[in-house]
Amino acid sequence: MSESSFAGAPRPTLSALRRLLPYVRPHRLPLVGSGVAALVGTLAGLAVPLWTRAIVDGSIARGDLGLLPWLVLGVLALGLVEAGLVFLRRMLVARPSNQIEASMRADLFAHLQRLPVAFHDRWASGQLLSRATSDLTTIRWFVAFSGIFLVVNALTLVVGIGVLVWLSPPLGLVVAITAVPLTALTLMLERRFSRAARRAQDQAGDLASVVEESALGIRVLKSLGRGRELTARYLAEARHLRGTELFKVRLLAALWAVLIMLPELAIAAILGVGARGVATGTITLGTLVAAVSVLTYLYWPIASIGYLLAEASNAAAATTRYWEVRDIAPAITDPAAPEPLAAPVLGELVLRDVHFTYPGADREILRGVDLTVRPGETMALVGATGSGKTTLTALLSRLYDVTGGAVLLDGVDVRHVRLAELRRAVVTAFEDPVLISASVRENVALGVPDAPDDAIWDALRVASADGFVAALPWGLDTRIGEQGMSLSGGQRQRLALARAVLGYPPVLVLDDPLSALDVHTEAEVEGALRRVLGGRDRAGEVAHRHVTARRDGAAERRRGGGVTALVVAHRPSTVQLADRVAMLQDGRITAVGDHSELLATDPAYRALVSSLDDHREGAIA
């Protein structure tokens, strides 16, 4: 999502902070204890002016200095109590505030994993990243500090005004009168600040998206010489954010000016009224000194209200942004009454009058697809670019849900199967291989984390990746960089293919698995795929000896003993891996049959294969 996507977002209000309660409630005791420690420490400091009054109107007024040392030691004791309570407050609040942040981050990450691919298609990753990092840091700071002191300082102001009224009602009235415009101006500026805080956080997310896109695409950007354009885009986003932050600074400056000016006016008024009272004998000198001391002590609670309200506005905006994502209900979930798949899974795929339209689009991508892939069969799916081949494969494991019709696995609608069970049965190797910043072992065993090393090496041999992995400095333990950029395109694709075949799932979906391979490696991987797919070449059966027991006899019940495979093909050599070929055209399956048969009988298929041949020859040349 871009900045403009949030232009109509509602202004976050402090009531949004109530949504933190489920996370705060388990830690309420240490948090409340921290607040009590802060309040008692503050009130201990507020007792110092009363002690001063006793000194001025007592020992000094009577000229009795015998008690003076004890009164001074009492002030020192109050200071030590306040310091000890500050230490206690920090100790009490540190662990729960960090645990709240960690819990919220873990829940957000888990929720992002549950949300469908359609959600991630719409949201910029930088916006999600800023919510999971900077926004949660803002919330933690509010829980640990600004939220507690917003309450403590407000109570301190109430108690302080009460002390002033107790000392001298006229002096208390003077302070109460100055508090009215202070409150009104503070609330007005807070409303404006909250809108600016939300805008700044959204702009920070947009800026993070630009940085992330630039970092991930650095090779392309450098090769195309687009550094100037990306720098200009980055600077434009940074200028927007700078402008908003400067606007926030101006609001805070105005708020601080008000918060500093009004207490100063109150002190001046108290001195004027108090001095007259001392002169007329209606107020003692000690009372005046105590009143001025109380108001001076309240200076920080008053001045900090603006800062604390600004932090509360930031936290409210961060909380609103957090729950914007958390409130999105996953569109693809486990069924209420799941149906189990057959044991073992045979792998029959049936697409029955399948329709699909991307969210927000006005044109159907698939318009009544009917296709059956028999157990153990390899079906090649061909079609022109943009015909919907990749979209169709995404429906098999419910990365998207059909908008009409049904996808059946062994006679069971995939929407009636638990997602975990379905995605163990249907494994996809995508055309764009996605690798994580981890070891080769962790990348290959991503879907089967308990796979032994011999199984991983077998999968690497199948993908013709064992040679280059063995040559890496630490073999399977070699860490590959983010997105596997330290490897070639073909190496990344072979690792992704090894990940897909590890464990020999009942249904294997390959989205153009040979697109990034050179001619020699392509021939090796084709031979390995024939073994995996149960094709004509039976050599190399040892490569999957480790899964014989796991199959539990399923192999013998499948035609030819291989997995069921749907292979998106953009090369004639890939088509020839298949038992049958299905042609996708205009959102429908227009032809199904043997490769040779379709070449002889279907002019559209013949023209498509001819274009694939021309493309392949161009690639070789």
Q: What is the pLDDT of residues 471-497, one digit of tens each?
A: 988 989 988 866 666 787 778 888 888
Whether 13 has a pLDDT exceeding 60, the answer reads yes
CB 478 within 8 A of CB 440: yes
Instruction: Look up the CATH number of domain 15-326.
Output: 1.20.1560.10
Backbone angles phi, psi at 564, to 5 degrees: -80, 130
d(CA 570, CA 332) in angstroms, rounded, equals: 30
Whether CATH 3.40.50.300 fits 349-620: yes
Q: N- to C-terminal Cα distance for the chain?
A: 42
Range 452-466 average pLDDT: 88
Question: DSSP letters along 286-314, please?
Answer: HHHHHHHHHHHHTHHHHHHHHHHHHHHHH
CB 605 within 8 A of CB 599: yes
d(CA 326, CA 544) in angstroms, rounded, equals: 42
Instruction: Determine the Cα angle at 439 with ends 438 and 443, to 5°.
Output: 80
Contacts of 529 (CB under 8 A, 6+ apart): 462, 510, 513, 535, 577
d(CA 509, CA 392) in angstroms, rounded, equals: 10
Residue 528: its pLDDT value, please?
Answer: 64
Listed range (58-62, 455-459, 471-475, 555-559) with the worst mean pLDDT: 555-559
Q: What is the pLDDT of residues 28-37, one digit of tens each?
A: 999 999 989 9
Contacts of 43 (CB under 8 A, 6+ apart): 156, 159
d(CA 478, CA 48) in angstroms, rounded, equals: 65
Range 276-290 average pLDDT: 80
CB 569 within 8 A of CB 578: yes
Among 21-35, 215-229, 493-507, the range with the most confident prediction by mean pLDDT is 21-35
Backbone angles phi, psi at 589, to 5 degrees: -85, 115
CA-wise closest residue to 567 among 500, 492, 519: 500
Whether 606 has a pLDDT exceeding 70, the answer reads yes
Question: DSSP letters along 373-410, please?
Answer: E-TT-EEEEE--TTSSHHHHHHHHTTSS--SEEEEEET
Residue of 8 and 246 predicted with greater confidence: 246
Secondary structure of 29-46 in HEC code, one letter for each residue = HHHHHHHHHHHHHHHHHH
> pTM above the 0.85 mark?
no
Residue 558: its pLDDT value, please?
Answer: 38
Burial of 28 per CB tally in 10 Å (0-12, 13-18, 19+): exposed
d(CA 439, CA 499) in angstroms, rounded, equals: 13
Amino acid at 512: D
Residue 525: its pLDDT value, please?
Answer: 67
Backbone angles phi, psi at 512, to 5 degrees: 50, 65
d(CA 261, CA 238) in angstroms, rounded, equals: 34
Range 509-538 average pLDDT: 64
Domain residue limits, the chain: 15-326, 349-620
Backbone angles phi, psi at 557, to 5 degrees: -90, -10
Instruction: Count CB-CB contacts under 10 A for residue 49.
Output: 24
Range 250-259 average pLDDT: 77
Q: Where are the alpha helices (DSSP H) in 55-168?
A: 61-62, 68-114, 117-122, 125-132, 134-141, 147-167
d(CA 525, CA 98) in angstroms, rounded, equals: 49
Q: At what angle do helices 28-54 and 285-297 cross, to 10 degrees?
A: 150
CB 203 within 8 A of CB 172: no
Cα distances from 28 to residues 35, 318, 530, in angstroms, run 10, 21, 61
Q: What is the pLDDT of residues 110-150, one digit of tens each?
A: 998 888 888 888 887 778 888 888 889 999 999 998 888 88
Listed range (186-200, 327-341, 528-542) with the worst mean pLDDT: 528-542
Residue of 106 and 361 predicted with greater confidence: 106
Helical (H) or strand (E) element with 516: none
d(CA 80, CA 621) in angstroms, rounded, equals: 84
Residue 555: its pLDDT value, please?
Answer: 38
Mean pLDDT of the chain: 80
Burial of 169 per CB tally in 10 Å (0-12, 13-18, 19+): exposed
Residue 535: its pLDDT value, please?
Answer: 40
Q: What is the pLDDT of residues 544-588, one digit of tens each?
A: 333 333 334 333 433 334 688 898 887 777 787 788 999 999 899
